[in-house]
Structure 1
Amino acid sequence: MTTVTRTPRLSRSSRRLVQRIGLLLGLLAGATFAAAPVLWMLSSSFKPNTLIFEFPPRLITEGFSFEAYGAIFGDPEKIRFFINSYVVSGAVTIATLFVAILAAYAFSRYDFPFKKPLNVIIVTVQAVPPITLLVPYFGLVVTLGLFNTYPGLILTYMVFTLPYAIIMMTGYFNTIPRELDEAVRMDGAGSWTALWRILVPISVPGIVSVGVYTFMIAWNEYLFALTLTKTTDMRTVPIGIQLLMGQHSYEWNEMMAMSILGSIPVLVLFLFFQRFFIGGLTAGAVKS
């Protein structure tokens, strides 16, 4: 007579523990994979060029120095790259938020002719690949005399940031009860007061999430910044990094240092406003 041996089954709590350990290991592996390039970039910014590609690679070497950062902060031309990025990104963010708030309020609270076709156009513009519009916008900017100017970059960037901003803000305003607007009007105030005194303060999470996203798009944009500017004093940070690639040699440590410095504004914004950013992205998904 043969005896059958049964493999003992894990209890429910044991299975949950195994699942959690597997999940944590997976998250740890993903975080390591995502963080490795950033750590290498940070480490390389403190190395001389001769040690950038040493094998085996080391995070800290004997040649540790702040030479690359000193070269950036000591060069007015490189400082100008950051000033240009701050000016353009800040202006795009403020202008986009202002226009998007007004447009979203109209789409959310009013019925007007061609409302649905306008919504379709906004979504369509958002879906168009920016590279397909490069040549037409270059010709338009040159014709208007805005080539190699702040307004040329700002207006061009707004074409790509406004559709997303309007869609997100409209969804957020749709979650706010219309009774608030009506209560303000019953007190004798108009739509302008209802928008800026009631809806905007309530919509801070949505506004912050749209603002952070808009700033990120404008700060990291490369293609149009390269095409619509000509002189060094109008270049932005992404173009400044590319200019460190010389014909015969690359300044790898300065490129890595400028990349780290260029990542700080977006990182700081996300760290300070991540609670609003995450809440704003999900708030418009459900209409109350």
Structure 2
Amino acid sequence: MRIGVSIGLLLGACFAVLPILWMVLSSFKPNSRIFADPPELFSSPTFEAYAEILHDPEKIRFFLNSYLVAGSVTLLTVLVAVLAAFAFSRYEFPGKRVINVVIISMQAVPPITLLIPFFGLMVKLKLYNTYPGLILTYMVLTLPYAIIMLTGYFNTLPRELDEAANMDGASSFGALWRILVPVSIPGIVSVALYTFMIAWNEYLFALTLTKTNNMRTVPIGIQLLMGQHSYDWSQMMAMSVLGSIPVVILFIFFQRHFIGGMTAGSVKS
């Protein structure tokens, strides 16, 4: 039984890793050798694709846009989610149950159904093809999950922590920032990583809500390498590798907090 499970896990791992391996190896091949017949798994590596990307100001702008948008969305989402989760976890107020249901319901709405309404809204507000328009749209996609997760995490923290801080003269907000937030770092890191990954990898809204190349993000930049009659596969793979690096690095350094936050946040709601 154990051998069968091990073989199944190994096959699953190979199925997941092989496309990534093909992407990395292809990024070091000339475009003409990627689909060579017979296939070449390993060949003389070349950094030509990476050099062309890193020396192209337009492609560098794609990465800067992604960093700006994803970083801003992450910071704002975490800030708003912490405040909202604290209110949901520690206070009773009129309409709390209704608001909570609305937030949870937002998770069930397919994002593609919001595409046309958001497009019209951004044009009406003159936020089309702007950073604020993209950031606000992404926050609508990330905030429900962030609030739900952090509310569940705050619910696992004993109220005695708040009471002890209040007895020491701290206000409710003082107890939040001095006591609850430091204790909730695993949950906050988990939400921040999730938010960053969503904003970094998002394609549909980035394509619809921007029109000029100086506003495009990395996923759209990869698509722009697809020509009408030919694809620049080596640069596509190289940009995909470069685009994967930030998320991989963040997950490697914060995976302990990420897994701990996901587990703790799901214990109690």
TM-score, normalization by structure 2: 0.98
Can you list the C-alpha shifts for 1:89-109, whole angstroms capped at 9, x where unaligned?
000000000000000000000
Partner of residue 52, structure 1: 34
Partner of residue 195, structure 1: 176
Partner of residue 259, structure 1: 240
Structure 1 segment 45-124 matched on structure 2, within 5 A: 45-62=27-44, 64-124=45-105
Can you list the C-alpha shifts for 1:197-221, whole angstroms capped at 9, x where unaligned?
0000000000000000000000000
CA distance in 2, matches of 1:247, 1:110: 57
Structure 1 segment 262-277 matched on structure 2, within 5 A: 262-277=243-258
Which stretch has the larger CA shift, 75-84 or 24-33? 24-33
Quick one: which of 140, 153, 164 aligns to 1:183?
164
Can you list the C-alpha shifts for 1:35-70, whole angstroms capped at 9, x where unaligned?
0000101111111111111233222124x2111001
Partner of residue 226, structure 1: 207
Structure 2: stretches of 5+ with no match in the other structure: none
1:154 equivalenced with 2:107 (yes/no):
no
CA distance in 2, matches of 1:23, 1:76: 49
Can you list the C-alpha shifts for 1:246-274, whole angstroms capped at 9, x where unaligned?
11211000000000000011111110000
Structure 1 SS opposite 2:107: helix
Amino acid at match of 1:156: T
Would the aligned equivalents of 2:149 and 2:266 in 1 still touch at CA under 8 Å? no
Would the aligned equivalents of 2:29 and 2:46 in 1 still touch at CA under 8 Å? yes
1:35 equivalenced with 2:22 (yes/no):
no
Structure 2 SS opposite 1:127: coil
Would the aligned equivalents of 2:85 and 2:147 in 1 still touch at CA under 8 Å? yes
Partner of residue 24, structure 1: 6
Rg bigger for which structure?
1
Which stretch has the larger CA shift, 89-98 or 244-253? 244-253
TM-score, normalization by structure 1: 0.92
CA distance in 2, matches of 1:34, 1:58: 20
Partner of residue 263, structure 2: 282
Amino acid at match of 2:157: I
Amino acid at match of 1:47: K
CA distance in 1, matches of 2:119, 2:36: 42
1:24 positional shift: 2.1
Runs of 4+ residues over 4 Å off in structure 1? none
How many residues align? The count is 269
CA distance in 2, matches of 1:148, 1:175: 41
1:244 positional shift: 0.2
Partner of residue 167, structure 1: 148
Q: State the identity as a percent.
A: 72
CA distance in 1, matches of 2:202, 2:214: 17
Structure 2 SS opposite 1:138: helix
CA distance in 2, matches of 1:31, 1:55: 27
**What RMSD in Å do the two structures reach over aligned CA positions?**
1.0
